[in-house]
Structure 1
Amino acid sequence: MSNANAAARRKGPADNPVEPDLVALLGSRICHDLVSPIGAINNGLELLELSGGAGGDEMALIRSSVDAAMARLRFFRVAFGAGGGAAEISAREMREMLEAMYRDTRTKILWRDDTARPRLEMRLACLALNCIEAATPWGAKVEVIRNEAAWVMHVDAKRLKIDALLWQSLGRGDLPADLQGAEVQFGILARESRQLRRPVSVSADETHLSLIV
């Protein structure tokens, strides 16, 4: 790469330095590297199925697990990976991805939006759903609606696990100093929503949670 091209990559509009989002790039790299081996397993299963060598409950379980893993990688790539701009993700793709992710769980996602939306907008939705996962370890019904200004998510469950500090951090609260890796979505959603000037509203009781972002 020439010195001129290298300089152009490091500069944004009006020669303002542009800092890369290393966390997002790391997410993209991890997802990219994992897609290849899991995709190879998927291709092997397809060959077995075409040749008639696949059958039985064991193969069905493997197929279901591979489908769920591929869907979760796609989900993580949207939620944590780099990318944005004019790229859009269709409502159909979101539904298929979420259905495969949660098919064998006690959680059901009802995606009520029918519009293809920018990747950045879908990123907010995926981060929000990932936060909801932390509150629903025993399963739930999650309804996802998009109004003119924000995502609106309603969660109904027999029981919720609410960590008040985590959920308060999505508004004006500070992140817990002992934030765990499994909770990183709260920090990223808080950062993204503030950068986009998208206020987050949360209300919850023992069995219902509403999240607006």
Structure 2
Amino acid sequence: MSNDAIDRTIALELASLMCSRLCHDMLSPVGALSNGLELLAEEKDPVMRQRCFELLEQSARTSADKLKFFRLAFGAAGGFGERIPVAEPRALIEALLAGKDRISLSWSLATDSLPKPAVKTLLNFALIAMDALVRGGTLDIAAEIRGGASEIVVRAAGPRIAFDPIVGQALEGRQPASEISSKTAPATMLALMAAGLGGSIQYALTDEALVLGAVLPGA
């Protein structure tokens, strides 16, 4: 098999795994919508029906927020130009954290806009960091443009950090193609994107914190 054929096979497998990850993350809010509609069809009590409507509204909002997030984090982000206002990813991350009182969020954004690859990196870093804070903690997100390169840093700190080293290997481009899974597909996407730009991704993990960093020249 030629190198081009191998690259196409890997790209197809990666796209399939990204779809699997998206479906997995959307299953809960969409399932809640379905369950809520079933309850509403059977419920006659006005108070309980109102409660069903509230739950449906919450599930619909969660589904919409996640779809908007994944559209920009995983997809082609159609409708945006080459640079995206930082207010866009900031709003998406804050929406995803709505109701998660155990996670406090802080920002340090030294630019008004970022190139698409930098925004995708920031969003995926934030998703990894949020997943790591299983018992809550702090999430710090920083981004700036320096010397024509985008620099992204995301830090998650808390009483327990849940981070699979295999995701770290994928971020650094060290995971064999044959071992890519839906869990590591987003990290693999970031590694390939960074390599294509001549950039790099690093991570550091301790018992108290996970730090993710990227330098993306020309992005």
TM bracket, shorter-chain basis: 0.5 to 0.7
5 Å matches for 1:13-24? 23=15
- Which residue in the other structure is 2:59 paired with? 65
Secondary structure in 2 matching 1:152: strand
Q: Deviations over 1:41-70 (max 9, x none)?
A: 9xxxxxxxxxxx9x9554443333322221
Instruction: State the match for 1:198 in structure 2.
Output: 199
Amino acid at match of 1:174: Q
In structure 1, how many angstroms separate the alpha carbons of the residues matched to 2:103 and 2:61?
16
Partner amino acid, structure 2, of 1:62: L
2:98 pairs with one of 83, 97, 103: 103
What are the ranges of 5 or more consecutive residues in structure 1 without an aligned counterpart? 1-18, 42-52
CA 1:57/1:93 → structure 2, altered by over 3 Å: closer, same or farther?
A: farther
Indicate conservation of the 8 Å contact 1:175/1:187, yes or no: no
Q: Please report the TM-score for the alignment, with normalisation by the length of structure 2.
A: 0.64
Instruction: Please list, as runs of the form range in 1=range in 2, the aligned pairs for 1:91-170 lying within 5 A after superposition.
Output: 91-105=86-100, 106-113=102-109, 115-147=112-144, 148=146, 149-170=150-171
Q: Count the aligned residue pairs.
A: 173
Cα–Cα, structure 1 residues 187 and 134, in superposed 2: closer, same or farther, change >3 Å? farther
Task: Report Cα offsets for 1:153-204 as digits up to 9, x if no partner.
Answer: 1111110112223213322522485443233211111111111122112111
CA distance in 1, matches of 2:118, 2:76: 13
CA–CA distance in structure 2, aligned partners of residues 182 and 117 of structure 1? 26
Aligned sequence identity (%): 19
Match of 2:85 in 1: 90
Q: Structure 2 regions of 5+ residues with no counterpart?
A: 1-7, 34-46, 215-219
In the alignment, what sits opposite 1:74?
68
Q: TM-score, normalised by structure 1?
A: 0.66
Using the alignment, how far apart are the partners of 2:83 and 2:55 within structure 1? 32
SS in structure 2 opposite 1:103?
coil
Distance 1:107 1:180, change over 3 A: farther
Query: Does the 8 Å CA contact 1:156/1:208 hold for their aligned counterparts?
Result: yes
**Per-residue deviation, residues 2-36 of structure 1 (Å, max 9, x unmatched):** xxxxxxxxxxxxxxxxx8x7639x86xx89xx9xx
The equivalent residue for 1:212 is: 213
Residue aligned with 1:192, SS:
helix
SS in structure 2 at match of 1:112:
strand
Quickly say closer, same or farther: Cα 1:157–1:93, change in 2 above 3 A. same
Residue matched to 2:37: none
CA distance in 2, matches of 1:57, 1:92: 33
Q: Residues of 1 paired with 2:112 and 2:60: CA distance?
A: 28
CA distance in structure 2 between the partners assigned to 1:146 and 1:187 by the alignment: 21
Distance 1:156 1:91 in 2: 23
Q: CA deviation at 1:116?
A: 2.1
What value does the CA root-mean-square deviation take over the aligned residues?
A: 3.3
SS of corresponding position for 1:61: helix
Q: Which has the higher strand share?
A: 2
8 Å contact 1:68–1:102 — kept in the other structure?
no
SS in 2 for 1:182: coil
Following superposition, the deviation at residue 133 of structure 1 comes to 3.6
